[in-house]
Amino acid sequence: MYIGVHVSIAGSLLDALDRAKALKCNALQIFSRNPRQWRQLEIKDAEAKEFGEKRRKYNIERVVVHIPYLINLASPYKVLYKKSITAYIEDLKEADKLGAEFLVTHMGSHAKTSELAGIDRFSSALNTIFNDTKGIKTRLLLENTSGSGSWLGYKFVHHRMIYNRVKQPERLGVCLDTAHAFTAGYDLKTEVGFNSMINEIDELIGIDSVKVVHFNDSKKDFSSHIDQHENIGKGKIGMSALQRVIKHPKLKNATFILETPKVNKDDDEANLTITRKMAK
Ligand SMILES: [Zn+2]
């Protein structure tokens, strides 16, 4: 199984690999850029090469890159929309240069226009982006959200609508965030609720398209539409429900990434230990 954690890129990208190795991970997630800045990483060829070598040496089998929230491909504001398209093209190229398997993205905010208009803008932007990044292997994964404000992607029919509008849907996949699904109104806490979500994804997009699971407990209640992650087993989803997710036979090839709070120094280690035990 591929189990890892979101690690910081402070210092350098190579430091991120060291952080993952220290935690004995065979997968990791990093941000494509500082979450509060537009400036890109600009990975040099030598650095990308070193990253690849070190990653193989450390047996990091899955590298997931995450696009920060600031970037919004569903935006009705022309300047932000154009800037976001440029940023995606850069990030997709850089993720590919690093040899990352997946680039995870939120589906943007329609900013009080309409969901349909947001989905249309998002999809048309993706067509531009894919057209500009032909031959790139890194797959773009659409992450579900908790459904706060005007954010798209709190139900999987939004993913389906994007798949329908994109000319190269084979370059897409799904990132399933457990905390987001739970707060969006998928009752993962019960077996019935979990199975019905899995069936919904399967019917709409195909369960095989779930390439990454953001494995998080939730600080907030079911259907609260508030996105706040909690340590594994300590939140409103809880241990047995999360175990059902990680033990699901149809998710066994997915990469499980923890985005749990990092308050104490050993939080990552504690969460990873519990997760690995659950997965056994
Ligand atoms: Zn997530």
Residues of the chain under the 70 pLDDT cut: 34-41
Active-site annotation holds for 36:
yes
CA distances (Å), origin 231, targets 107, 199, 239: 25, 27, 10
Q: Is 69 a catalytic residue?
A: yes
Residue (of 92, 79, 78) closest to 33 by Cα position: 92
Domain interval for residue 69? 2-279
Nearest-angstrom CA–CA distance, 111 and 93: 28
Q: Which is catalytic among the residues 132, 200, 259, 267?
A: 259
Domain count, the chain: 1
Q: How far apart are CA 65 and CA 95, in angstroms?
A: 7
For 31, how many CA atoms within 13 A lie in the half-sphere containing its CB?
A: 17
- For 181-209, write each residue's pLDDT tens digit: 999 999 999 999 999 999 999 999 999 99
CA 104 – ligand 1 centroid, Å: 9
Give pLDDT, residue 41: 65
Length of the chain: 280
Catalytic residue list contains 248: no
Closest CA to 122 of 110, 112, 131: 110
3-state secondary structure of 228: coil
Please tell me the distance from the alpha carbon of residue 143 to that of residue 99, in angstroms, as a whole number. Answer: 20
What CATH number does residue 181 fall under?
A: 3.20.20.150
Q: What is the pLDDT of residue 35?
A: 63
159 is catalytic: no
Model pTM score: 0.96
Q: List, for residues 23-77, the tens digit of each pLDDT value.
A: 999 999 999 876 666 565 678 899 999 999 999 999 999 999 999 878 899 999 9
How far is 136 from 63, CA to CA, in rounded Å? 15
